Amino acid sequence: MEKTINVRETFKECMTCSRTYCHLINEHFNDKHDAIEKACDPLAGGIMNQGQQCGMLWGASLALGKKIAETYAYPDEAIPKVVYLTERVMESFEVIAGTAICKDIIEIDISKTYGLLKFIVKTSIQGNKKNRCFALAEDWYPEAIETITIAMGDDIPKIRIAETCSSRLMFEMGGSPEDEIMVAGWGGGIGLSGHGCGALATAIWKVTKQWCDDHPGKNPPYFNNRPAKKILKAFKEMTGGTLVCKEICGRSFNSLEDHMDHLEKGRCDKLIGLLRDFNPN
């Protein structure tokens, strides 16, 4: 008998959209990774409430990366598959939500204190039944699972020495091959979409994951995640304030190979180097 999933209750328990979908997809695969899921928290609100891609997408892509890392033996197979799955998941999300961008979904800029307070008050007044994020999470779930099920069966060509900006940064930060595969789908602005930077998300997730490993059973600080705040500040200083991949790179990517060629030419070396070498502690 298939297990019934109560998406709203899961959201209430997980507390953030990003952790919720990392947990839901893990649960679909009969898996659970507490620290991995909790470390998704700062990606909620479109990367630390910056209004970029919805946290559900970051969490779902990470969980898919975890599954693929356990399924495929080599990155040349695994990374193209994770990127492909992330692209398909983003497409299905946009059909339901109309956009992948957090601030467009909730119609509030929560990057500023006033906007965040307005959002908190609004969701409190609405309650669980009318909560836009809860409703979207619930509406998308069956479509997300169907999309994942179909896309998992699609054959994706191997790419020699496959990588994305996010997987490269994870490698340079000392992450395991499994970690590289897990975050690979975030590359090129998640699913090569050109939105919020996947390398930035990788750095934030990794430092938060370390905190979770050091504090088992506890939730990472959400509003006062100091290492993540320092990373975000340094990143913005280098990019002139933008988090958007296509603005930083001055272009979009047509394929994984196109993205890899961009990396091979050293176009993102400075940002990757900043995130790799930055000490937020």
Q: What pLDDT does 277 receive?
A: 97
C-alpha distances in Å from residue 232, one per residue of 13, 51, 56, 241: 27, 13, 20, 10
pLDDT in tens, 16-66: 999 999 999 999 999 989 999 999 999 999 999 999 999 999 999 999 999
Q: What pLDDT does 143 receive?
A: 98
Cα separation, 68 vs 178, whole angstroms: 9
Q: What pLDDT does 129 receive?
A: 77
Task: Give the residue extent of every domain in the chain.
Answer: 9-277
Contact 247, 55 (CB under 8 A): no
Is residue 4 pLDDT above 80, yes or no?
Answer: yes
- 130-148 in b/e form (b: 16+ CB < 10 A) is ebbbbebbbebbeebeebb
Q: Work out the pLDDT band at 100, boundaries 50, 70, 90.
A: very high
Q: What pLDDT does 2 receive?
A: 55
Cα separation, 278 vs 172, whole angstroms: 12
Q: pTM to 2 decimals? A: 0.97
Is residue 194 pLDDT above 50, yes or no?
Answer: yes
Is residue 235 pLDDT above 70, yes or no?
Answer: yes
Burial classification of residue 154, based on how many CB atoms lie within 10 Å of its CB (0-12 exposed, 13-18 middle, 19 or more buried): exposed
What's the angle, vertex CA 137, arms to CA 133 and CA 138, rounded to 5?
120
- What angle separates helix 256-264 from helix 75-97, to the nearest 10 degrees? 120
Cα separation, 69 vs 20, whole angstroms: 20
Q: Residue 5, CB half-sphere, CA atoms under 13 Å: how many? A: 21
**What are the beta bridge partners of residue 244?**
196
Cα separation, 262 vs 249, whole angstroms: 9
Cα separation, 131 vs 73, whole angstroms: 41
Q: Work out the pLDDT band at 171, boundaries 50, 70, 90.
A: very high
Widest distance between CA atoms in the chain: 53
